[in-house]
Amino acid sequence: MSNSHLNEDRASQAMALLRKNHLFFKKKHPNIYNIIKDIEFTRYTLDINKRTGCTEVLDGKERVYSGDLDAAIEKEIADYTIKFAAGKLVRTVTPPIPQSFIYPRHFSNRLKALTEKVPIGTNVNGSYRIPDYYPTIFFMGCWTGIHIDKFLRENNVLHAIIFEPDPERFCLSLYLTDWEALYDYCAQKKNKIILHIAAVKEISASYISNTAWNIFVSQCPSFPLISLFYNHLGSMEFEPIIKRVKDDMHLYLNQWGYYDDEINQLNNAYHNIAAGAAALPICFEEKKENIFIVGAGPSLDERIEDIKKHIDKAIIVSCGSGLRPLVKNGIIPDYHVELESHMFTHEMLSKPEYAALHKKTTLISALQLPPNVFELFENKYFFIKDSTALAELFVENDSDVIMGVTPTCTNAGFAIFTHLNYKNIFLFGLDFGFKDSKKHHSESSVYFEDSNSEGFDQVTEDTFSNHIEVESVTGDKIKTISMYSTSRRALENCLIMRTQNNANLTVYNCADGAKIKGTTHLSSDQFNNEIKDTHPLLCTKESKDILSKNQTKFTYQKVLRRKIIDLEDDLTIMCNEFKAIIRPFENNYDLADNFKLCEQINKHLLTSLTQRFGRKIFLIRGSIWHILHTGMSYGLTINKVEEKEKFIKLWQETFIDLLDTLPTHYHSITEKEYPDENDPWIHEDIAGNESNFLE
């Protein structure tokens, strides 16, 4: 029964429909039924005029639809379909281009070859024309559901996602929308409906925002490629969420991994495990010592004296490139944090100027750090980040996994010491922006060394000349680049996560760059007063060496080979199951059908495979998303039908080839006996030299 054809006795039909909907959800969607079965209206009233059939919703005494629900929805849908008509442009994220794949790597080679086949002149600026269907629409707000029913019947929406954070509002739809009929209608067209309904009425705005974000980012490739938002009633409740999603699209895209990086990291980690590396001791008792997290932002040059003045009142933690400015100013950090798995890390840390650190500073690094970096330091620990297969292979307790350590070393430093429950955190050199594009880092950092090659300097100049603007700590605008915005937003999200478990956590931003939400900015004078008056506690050698009290040894050497084989077996299963999903679509080059193929692959990845293999999916998850994004982005931008179908055919073949070869490639890299001093992958920069190594 369509909502547009209700007879005049709408009130009687509404009660019958309520009973039908309850039965439907109880049978087909019990989780939703458990939410709605006992809901009582306390705020909203459904007002149905028995004489005219006109329906209105009252929010208290206020009319939601200005007296005529049906007329209001007719106009809203008409306005929406004009604004987002077929052929209109939607600007989101750019497709990958051949120049994106610089290094000859296993996955990169295949994606580069695919993008080289894109017809000359194809648009790559991130603007996509809406086809004569909608790949995905996020319906923000359900209310009576009539707008959703009507829209889905009048338009071809492949994937409708309905988000309603107020269960009482959703219950209004039980009287006016025949959900079973709507589900059946969409199923007949092989389209999908997904309902996300909050379980309780009173939830925080931040919880709603985070929940919505998690829903959006699970919809690759439609999100972030060409997802549209239908904000029912133009609700101000959802505007900040929609803005956040649009602002953070590149953050999401930048955090996708690549198989090429994952296999390199696994290889390093296997070496480190075989060598008996020690795990970072996790101790959750609250710690009052001040922590100075130090990056290499440009404001560090002006704030370095603040660190030197109060060096006895803090544990000094250098992060990545933040190390060199400290050392050049005579400061030996207590801890140094590294995240990157490439050989540049060893090249830098093995320089004579850092010799004193190897004995005095404790290294805390990701398990995937090159083994020769671990060998430099007398005192060292590794941690395991959350977004890696290593966390599934070698971690028994989730509390031992450090959440929020990516994408940069400063993110890692912040995540580690807040995870260890230090409550007073001061951020230095975490600018996440710059006033002058020629001074994007501290002048004492590696970026301004005289020995840098011309190529290095040129890449650096190109990187920082392509900037955007964000709000600074003073409220003015400051320049930044996409990666810095990604890193800043990731730190802000990590801070939100940490404060949920540590109400006493206080984070001070002592950098003079971009505004960091959730932190308190301190000028130099304010910082000195804060340390003097509020945090005068001296850091003794004992307090700085707190980790050594809880030292643990890694115990997985004996089972390493079994773990390696287990992952290979699971990778083979995952690849075979993906191929089984693709096979029925071979010789079908219709773009809409291939969007549905992508939806099936992504759903299988995030449900069945995740449930069975946990974090092992990180070995290939990012690469799966990249190839889905590549296929559909060019499917939308290639104009000629023949060229579009030819590209989709090649995309499917590339996808199958990748899935065929991944297990073999993994085996070829990991069949060695660890540790193996002759392994070229731990002596050369794998980013540029894989062509010399075994594929």
Q: What is the pTM of this model?
A: 0.88
pLDDT score, position 310: 93
pLDDT, tens only, 545-578: 666 555 555 567 778 999 999 999 999 999 999 9
Pair 375, 293 in one domain: yes
- For residue 323, is it within any domain? yes
pLDDT score, position 502: 82
pLDDT score, position 3: 39
Pair 305, 203 in one domain: no
Pair 197, 299 in one domain: no
Give the end of a domain, one of 218, 245, 263.
218
pLDDT, tens only, 232-246: 999 999 998 888 788
pLDDT, tens only, 93-113: 999 999 988 888 999 999 999
**Structure-token pair, residue 308:** 């030197």
Give the end of a domain, one of 218, 243, 261.
218
Pair 213, 318 in one domain: no
Mean pLDDT (the chain) is 90
- For residue 201, is it within any domain? yes
Average pLDDT over residues 99-128: 93
Per-residue pLDDT at 227 exceeds 50: yes
pLDDT score, position 481: 87
pLDDT score, position 461: 74
Domain count, the chain: 2
Question: Around Cβ 613, how many Cβ atoms within 10 Å?
Answer: 19
Residue 147 DSSP label: H
pLDDT, tens only, 454-466: 766 777 777 777 7
pLDDT, tens only, 52-76: 778 899 999 999 999 889 999 999 9
- Residues 407 and 257: their CA atoms lie apart, in Å, by 10
pLDDT score, position 693: 40
pLDDT, tens only, 189-220: 999 999 999 887 666 777 787 788 888 888 99
pLDDT score, position 262: 94
Name the CA radius of gyration of the chain, rounded.
28
pLDDT score, position 211: 83
- Residues 195 and 341: their CA atoms lie apart, in Å, by 41
Per-residue pLDDT at 626 exceeds 50: yes
At residue 691 the predicted structure's pLDDT band, cuts being 50, 70 and 90, is very low
Per-residue pLDDT at 510 exceeds 90: yes
Least confident of 29-33, 227-231, 320-324, 465-469: 465-469
At residue 543 the predicted structure's pLDDT band, cuts being 50, 70 and 90, is low
- For residue 128, is it within any domain? no
Pair 162, 22 in one domain: yes
**3-class secondary structure, 157:** strand
Which residues partner with 287 through β-bridges? 422
pLDDT score, position 485: 86
Per-residue pLDDT at 295 exceeds 60: yes
- Residues 633 and 629: their CA atoms lie apart, in Å, by 6
pLDDT, tens only, 418-467: 999 999 999 999 999 999 888 888 888 877 777 777 766 777 777 777 77
At residue 519 the predicted structure's pLDDT band, cuts being 50, 70 and 90, is very high
- For residue 599, is it within any domain? no
Pair 440, 532 in one domain: yes
Burial 649-677 (b: 16+ CB within 10 A, else e): ebbbebbbebbebbbebbeebbebebbee
Composition of the chain by helix, strand, coil, percent to 5: 50, 15, 35
CA distances from 111 to 75, 107, 627 (A): 45, 6, 7
N- to C-terminal Cα separation, the chain: 59
pLDDT, tens only, 627-676: 999 999 999 999 999 999 999 999 999 999 999 999 999 999 999 999 99
The number of residues making up the chain comes to: 695
- For residue 623, is it within any domain? no
At residue 377 the predicted structure's pLDDT band, cuts being 50, 70 and 90, is very high
Pair 165, 71 in one domain: yes
Per-residue pLDDT at 365 exceeds 50: yes
- For residue 262, is it within any domain? no
Per-residue pLDDT at 376 exceeds 50: yes
- Residues 651 and 644: their CA atoms lie apart, in Å, by 10
Per-residue pLDDT at 332 exceeds 70: yes
Pair 206, 299 in one domain: no
CB 622 within 8 Å of CB 256 = yes
- Residues 266 and 129: their CA atoms lie apart, in Å, by 40
- For residue 379, is it within any domain? yes
**3-class secondary structure, 160:** strand
Pair 299, 168 in one domain: no
- 89-91/127-129 β-pairing: antiparallel
Give the end of a domain, one of 160, 186, 218.
218
Which structural domain, as residue segments, surrounds residue 397? 288-545
Question: Around Cβ 508, how many Cβ atoms within 10 Å?
Answer: 22
Pair 342, 444 in one domain: yes
Backbone torsions φ then ψ of 394, nearest 5 degrees:
-130, 15
- For residue 442, is it within any domain? yes
- Residues 509 and 427: their CA atoms lie apart, in Å, by 5
